[in-house]
Structure 1
Amino acid sequence: MAGGPTVQNDLVEYGFRRVIITITAVLCALLEIVDTTIVNVALKQMQGSLGATLTDVAWVITAYAIANVIVIPMTSWLSQQFGRRNYFAVSIVIFTVASFLCGNSDNIWELVIFRFIQGMGGGALLVTAQTIITESYPAEKRGMAQAIYGMGVIVGPTLGPPLGGWIVDNWSWPYIFYINIPLGIIAAMLTLMYVKSPKYGEKMKANQVDWWGMLFLILFIGSLQFVLEHGQQDDWFEDPLITGLSVLSLFGLFAFIWRELVYEHPIVNLRVLKDSNLRIGTILCFIMGFGLYGTTFIIPIYTQQILGWPALDAGLLLMPSSIATAFMMPIIGQMIQRGIPQTYMVATGFLVFFLFTYWMYNIMTPDTGTENFFWPLIMRGVGLGLLFVPITTMSLSTLKGKSIGEGAAFTGMMRQLGGSFGIAIISTFITRYTQSHRVNLVAHEQVTDFAVQQRVSQIQHGFMAQGIPANEALDKAYKAMEGGVLRQATVLSYMDIFLYLGILFLICIPFILLIRRGKGKVDMSEAMH
């Protein structure tokens, strides 16, 4: 850590001050994490009020995630340049102001831009909050500090969907952003009053900053996300913009890798990836993010769009899963401390997650009941519990000193990237698979078919019983049949996504066996910048 042991001791707090600093840091981490998942149950309302497509509204989530991924690697440098307390306070202010602007958005792209700015402030909150809590506790109590922070991080995703659902059902979607404003103001004031900054060494000069690295990273991630989001509706490579951005994304990736390997002060130290455990760990983090955020995105949409659930019920549905993950965390910690190999836990976690997706694949229908979801979602929670901590400790287990911090930043960044890729790809696949299933279903439901004619006649008579004239009732009957076909096609596309997601997790298991055994325990306080 910059500044050595003396600075570390200077930052240790006791009594009331430490309680206030801990509450402030956990509050900020919670704000950031809750905002990652709180919008999931409000997407349908956003679509309606802003006149957006599902593909467009997915950008509300991905813009936030992209901004997080871009800012996380820069956080250490920005803290050193401006002082940690100032940087943390400014990040809270940016997050709070952007929250207000998100709530006031008049169209979908305005909302996406303000979500990106909110994500730039939010990315800093998560990383810096962990550092502030760790440094406020003496070395012998750092394990407890990590546990306090960890519980806050676990509660965040649990709170997001039901809180979002309750707000949307009782008020309207802008209030999911407005609730950040009073909490943000309190957190900013407490930060300026109580949080200290470490005394860093000499600041990096402006001409040493890796501006090109930042630019190439933004080019790579931004272009790739646009291609993933809009490729389906724009006919992929038939569209010159999609083709151009695909080339730009590839250029950004190669230029970013080259720049980070040759520059003296890289914004992301790629050399740390020489460690084979970290290389495999970052891929596993990416896939875990894909499954974690992908399922958190698709389940509320399915329950609201197909089953017609209110937003609060859709949010509450994910509670058992998150509680199961939180329950698993201390058990997993104990298992790691007792020397049970993380490879076994991770392999089991991927297998359990596959079983969850296969179970979901089997229970999805246009009218699945609440009771059908409980045990599959408990299984999802257990699977994620077996993945979160073991993947991180396994990835960092053969690293030492400063490399642990760089490796930890990598695993966090790849988890976020996996999430944004997952949401983008899933929303694209829903559109594509729904169209192909609709074509197949319509091919099997010819108007000349006797069973189809009987069904149309039944629906028509149902409308006529309500006093609607025969011709109008027939039109309504055909529309109802078309709606039913589209609903069934959408369910089939969701089933496909769960099945393919499960296969992806199953394929990972053999790669886990390639991981070398490192030291079982990683001192996460070493990972702090």
Structure 2
Amino acid sequence: MTRFAATRHLRTAERDEPKASLRPWLVLVFLSIAATMDAVNSTVLVVTRGHLMGGTHATPDEIAWINMTYLAAKLTALPASAWMMSCASPSRLLAGAIAALIASSLGCSATDDLGWLIGWRVLQGAAGATLLVVGQTLLFSMFPRSRQGIVQGLFAFATIMAPTTLTPSLQGWIADTHSWSWLFAANVPLGTAGLFAAFLAADGQTTVRLVRRLDGVGLVLFALFATAFVFVTQEGSRYNWFDEPEIIEYFALGSAAILAFMAWQFTKQGRDPLLDFVIFRDEHFTFGFVVSFVAGCALFGSAFVIPAFATGVLDFPPAYAGFVLLPGGPLVCVGLLAAGGLIDARGLDPAKPIPLGIVCFMAAMWALSGSTSGSGLSDLIPPIMLRGLGLGLLFVSLTLLTLRDLGPEMIAQGVALFNLGRQMGGQFGIAWLSTILDNQNAQNRTVLSQYLAPGEHAVTERQDAVANYLTSRGYFPEEAGTAATAVIQKAFAQQVATLSFNACFLAIALLFIAAVPVLIATKLTLGRLVGRHGNLKQGPACLENTNERTSDL
């Protein structure tokens, strides 16, 4: 049985109107700083895997579990966080999540034991998911509808810009100049700012919560699915997918778990389910949820491929590969603020900036697909900046299109599912591009090796030219021949890698073209279903300030 719980907090008489109007903006600033902790935790292995392997004396298979357990816990905690918001006030949940993130970060920085590190990472994933869901839901309740564009744009600095541009760059520098333990210790000052946000969010408003029982069976089934999904997408490419029995076992486990979860949720509708299917009757949310999966695939996939290209082709040290993404950061901010500002100031339909963002992103990936082994950083900066602009225009608009018309009783679950779609899309995108990269490497190596056969005139001529050059630079003749062979082999490997990465960039550019028919069909189908059965919209009042919503209670 469900029960209603009302919590009443008296406003402090000393609080004057200027402070009351400033408080939400202070919450936004401190909350955005705190949300950067999740960006730090989610990208910690992007460019510093070698440092962690050395520090923990772990094998590649063992170190992979540091990331997989974190991701599985995060995916599981996203829908669970929506349930938690029915049991406690947002400010208390926020404070608890931030305290857990600080504690787990200190735990990670203080240990070099792999088991303890994995345990702390599980806590980081669960707490990070709670922070994102509670924080974004809180912003929807604290600010009126007319301010959501700029508010969500600023919050996206931490959720979109930081993990795709800023944190990989800084983490590589920190690990290279200090120690990998400082990667986690850096969360402490960020978490301190988040505690200020939780304190300021503990306002004096009257709130009404529908307290629901935890769907324990549903949560366990979803946790099994999340674990299997993460393992298959993270490790599938390494083991050539279904050629490895362990991949087949995890795939079977995940398939059985998600089918059982969906069947269980159907039986639980109306009786405190973990996933309330009513939310999918809102056509904007359902369409945005599908698009978030595709957008997450492109976002995290490109963030994976670009640093890998920098290390594999441009010979950047791993610790500095993240700096390749940094020039796109300011343009992400410009796109976020431009789209959010136009939506607020001009009443622009959130759907309108999305095509422009997609076009910018596709153009950037198409430009990168023409890279060569002689490309330099100056050749990459323009498309990376264009990519950043596209991401900014796309994600703030998609967030508002998906969430801003949900009623107050559904906004927490909407935020959780929207983030879940983006995260799962990101995992799928990385796995998809890893597979393309592996297949292209094998194919290009086979094709190009035909031109390096022993006795091939062009090869012999090139080898002699390189050997003569090295001899003129002081090499002994016998050493020059060996060195010339090594130079040709390196050039061959670079050419293979360049062609393979170009195929990945082109695949990302074509992703949205392939997805357009599916998205159009989804939109048309949803329009017909909603027209027949009605939807969940509650009108513009659903995003008005909590003071306005609760004054009639």
Note the C-alpha offset of 1:101.
4.0
Alignment of 1:281-360 (within 5 A): 281-310=288-317, 314-337=321-344, 338-360=346-368
Distance 1:379 1:23, change over 3 A: closer
Distance 1:387 1:53, change over 3 A: farther
Aligned to 1:179: 186
Identify which range, 378-387 or 95-104, moves more after superposition: 95-104
Alignment of 1:185-196 (within 5 A): 186-187=192-193, 190=196, 196=202
Aligned-partner residue type, residue 32 of structure 2: V
Aligned-partner residue type, residue 338 of structure 2: I
- Which of 228, 231, 249 lines up with 1:226 in the alignment? 231
Distance 1:486 1:380, change over 3 A: same
Contact 1:351/1:505, CA 8 A, preserved across alignment: no
Contact 1:229/1:425, CA 8 A, preserved across alignment: no
Identify which range, 114-123 or 239-248, moves more after superposition: 114-123
Question: Aligned residues, how many?
Answer: 523
SS state at 1:402 partner: coil
Aligned to 1:124: 130
Alignment of 1:111-510 (within 5 A): 114-132=120-138, 149-153=155-159, 156-157=162-163, 158-184=165-191, 186-187=192-193, 190=196, 196=202, 203-204=211-212, 208-263=213-268, 264-310=271-317, 314-337=321-344, 338-362=346-370, 364-396=371-403, 399-461=406-468, 474-510=481-517
SS state at 1:41 partner: coil
SS state at 1:268 partner: coil
Aligned to 1:27: 33
Alignment of 1:84-95 (within 5 A): 84-95=90-101
Contact 1:37/1:296, CA 8 A, preserved across alignment: no
Q: Which string of whole-angstrom CA distances, capped at 9 and with x for unpartnered residues, describes residues 22-69 of structure 1? A: 554333212223433454333454467668888886765555444322
SS state at 1:433 partner: helix
Q: Which string of whole-angstrom CA distances, capped at 9 and with x for unpartnered residues, describes residues 153-197 of structure 1? A: 45534431332233134223332222123443x357647866538
* Partner Cα distance (2:241, 2:11) in 1: 56
* Partner Cα distance (1:357, 1:418) in 2: 18
* Partner Cα distance (2:145, 2:350) in 1: 25
* Partner Cα distance (2:501, 2:15) in 1: 50
* Partner Cα distance (1:172, 1:236) in 2: 35
Structure 2 spans left out of the alignment, 5+ residues: 528-534
Alignment RMSD: 4.0
* Partner Cα distance (1:388, 1:13) in 2: 36
* Partner Cα distance (1:396, 1:135) in 2: 12
Distance 1:328 1:235, change over 3 A: closer
Distance 1:524 1:380, change over 3 A: farther
Aligned-partner residue type, residue 486 of structure 1: A
* Partner Cα distance (2:507, 2:49) in 1: 24
Aligned-partner residue type, residue 250 of structure 1: S
Note the C-alpha offset of 1:504.
1.0
Structure 1 spans left out of the alignment, 5+ residues: none
Distance 1:527 1:305, change over 3 A: farther
* Partner Cα distance (1:291, 1:51) in 2: 33
Note the C-alpha offset of 1:286.
0.6
| TM-score, scaled relative to structure 1 | 0.83
SS state at 1:172 partner: coil
Contact 2:47/2:322, CA 8 A, preserved across alignment: yes
| TM-score, scaled relative to structure 2 | 0.80
Contact 2:7/2:207, CA 8 A, preserved across alignment: no
Note the C-alpha offset of 1:522.
6.3
* Partner Cα distance (1:334, 1:141) in 2: 9
Aligned-partner residue type, residue 278 of structure 2: R
Note the C-alpha offset of 1:216.
1.6
Q: Which string of whole-angstrom CA distances, capped at 9 and with x for unpartnered residues, describes residues 72-105 of structure 1? A: 2111323444554443333223322332344456
* Partner Cα distance (1:40, 1:522) in 2: 41
Identity %: 25
Aligned-partner residue type, residue 179 of structure 1: A
SS state at 2:331 partner: helix
SS state at 2:224 partner: helix
* Partner Cα distance (1:341, 1:145) in 2: 16
Aligned-partner residue type, residue 391 of structure 2: L
Aligned-partner residue type, residue 243 of structure 1: I
* Partner Cα distance (1:190, 1:3) in 2: 26
Note the C-alpha offset of 1:360.
0.6
* Partner Cα distance (1:59, 1:477) in 2: 41
* Partner Cα distance (1:123, 1:175) in 2: 22
* Partner Cα distance (1:510, 1:177) in 2: 43
* Partner Cα distance (2:314, 2:14) in 1: 52
* Partner Cα distance (1:180, 1:69) in 2: 21
Note the C-alpha offset of 1:6.
6.0
Distance 1:333 1:134, change over 3 A: closer
* Partner Cα distance (2:471, 2:54) in 1: 31
Identify which range, 118-127 or 8-17, moves more after superposition: 8-17
Q: Which string of whole-angstrom CA distances, capped at 9 and with x for unpartnered residues, describes residues 436-476 of structure 1? A: 32222222211221221233334445666677665565444
- Which of 33, 38, 42 lines up with 1:36 in the alignment? 42
* Partner Cα distance (2:541, 2:465) in 1: 68
Aligned-partner residue type, residue 224 of structure 2: L
Distance 1:152 1:527, change over 3 A: farther
* Partner Cα distance (2:468, 2:541) in 1: 71
Distance 1:133 1:394, change over 3 A: closer
Contact 1:343/1:394, CA 8 A, preserved across alignment: yes
Distance 1:63 1:387, change over 3 A: farther
Contact 1:162/1:314, CA 8 A, preserved across alignment: yes
Identify which range, 295-304 or 6-15, moves more after superposition: 6-15
